[in-house]
Structure 1
Amino acid sequence: MDFLSNGGIFSMLESATIVVKGVLCLLAAMSIGSWTIIFWKLISLGKARSLVLKGNQIMEEADSLSAGLTAINRTKTSPLNRIGSAAVKEYRVLEKSAVSPSHKRRLIKDTLRRILRQRVSSEMKKLSSSLSFLATCANGAPFIGLFGTVWGIMNSFHAIGTAKSAALSAVAPGISEALVATAIGLSVAIPATIAYNFFLGVLGGIETEMVNFAGVFLNRIEREVSWVESASKNGGDSDDYSSAEV
Structure 2
Amino acid sequence: MSSELSFFDLFWQASILVQLVMLTLLIISVVSWAFIFQRNKALSQASSEIKKFEDRFWSGADLNRLYQELSARQSIGGLASLFCAGFKEFVRLSKSSTTHPDAIMDGTHRAMRVSLSREVDSLESHLPFLATAGSISPYIGLFGTVWGIMNSFIALGGQHQATLAMVAPGIAEALIATAMGLFAAIPAVIAYNRFSHQVEKLENNYANFMEEFSSILHRQALANSKDGQ
For residues 5 and 164 of structure 2, the distance between their equivalents in structure 1, rounded to whole angstroms, comes to 20
In the alignment, does 2:3 pair up with 1:9? Answer: no
For residues 113 and 34 of structure 1, the distance between their equivalents in structure 2, rounded to whole angstroms, comes to 37
Q: Which has the higher contact order (CA 8 A, sep 6+)?
A: 2
The Cα shift of 1:174 comes to: 1.3
Correspondence for 2:41: 43
**Is the Cα–Cα contact under 8 Å of residues 58 and 72 in structure 1 kept in the other structure?**
no
Correspondence for 2:123: 127
- Cα 1:94/1:17, change in 2 over 3 Å: same
**Is the Cα–Cα contact under 8 Å of residues 138 and 190 in structure 1 kept in the other structure?**
yes
Aligned ranges 1:28-177 → 2 under 5 Å: 28-66=26-64, 69=67, 76-97=75-96, 100-101=98-99, 104-177=100-173
The Cα shift of 1:69 comes to: 4.4
Give % identity.
36
- Cα 1:58/1:74, change in 2 over 3 Å: farther
Q: How many residues align?
A: 228
In the alignment, does 2:218 pair up with 1:228? Answer: no
**Is the Cα–Cα contact under 8 Å of residues 78 and 119 in structure 2 kept in the other structure?**
yes
- Cα 1:193/1:177, change in 2 over 3 Å: same
SS in 1 for 2:158: helix
**Is the Cα–Cα contact under 8 Å of residues 52 and 78 in structure 1 kept in the other structure?**
no
- Deviation string, structure 1 residues 104-124 (Cα, Å, up to 9, x no partner): 211111111121112111100
The Cα shift of 1:158 comes to: 0.6
For residues 224 and 165 of structure 2, the distance between their equivalents in structure 1, rounded to whole angstroms, comes to 91
SS in 1 for 2:14: coil
- Cα 1:153/1:26, change in 2 over 3 Å: same
**Is the Cα–Cα contact under 8 Å of residues 50 and 78 in structure 2 kept in the other structure?**
yes
For 2:13, give the aligned amino acid.
Answer: S
The Cα shift of 1:70 comes to: 5.6
For 2:88, give the aligned amino acid.
Answer: K
**Is the Cα–Cα contact under 8 Å of residues 138 and 192 in structure 1 kept in the other structure?**
yes
SS in 2 for 1:173: helix
- Cα 1:164/1:96, change in 2 over 3 Å: farther
**Is the Cα–Cα contact under 8 Å of residues 116 and 214 in structure 1 kept in the other structure?**
yes
Correspondence for 2:215: 219
- Cα 1:164/1:90, change in 2 over 3 Å: farther
**Is the Cα–Cα contact under 8 Å of residues 5 and 169 in structure 2 kept in the other structure?**
no
**Is the Cα–Cα contact under 8 Å of residues 138 and 181 in structure 2 kept in the other structure?**
yes
Unaligned segments of structure 1, at least 5 residues: 236-246
- Cα 1:81/1:204, change in 2 over 3 Å: same
- Cα 1:50/1:42, change in 2 over 3 Å: same
For residues 233 and 94 of structure 1, the distance between their equivalents in structure 2, rounded to whole angstroms, comes to 16
Aligned counterpart for 1:180 among listed residues 161, 176, 183 = 176
The Cα shift of 1:6 comes to: 7.8
The Cα shift of 1:230 comes to: 4.5
Unaligned segments of structure 2, at least 5 residues: none
Please identify runs of 4+ aligned residues in structure 1 that moved more than 3 A. 63-78, 230-235
**Is the Cα–Cα contact under 8 Å of residues 70 and 76 in structure 2 kept in the other structure?**
no
For 1:228, give the aligned amino acid.
Answer: L
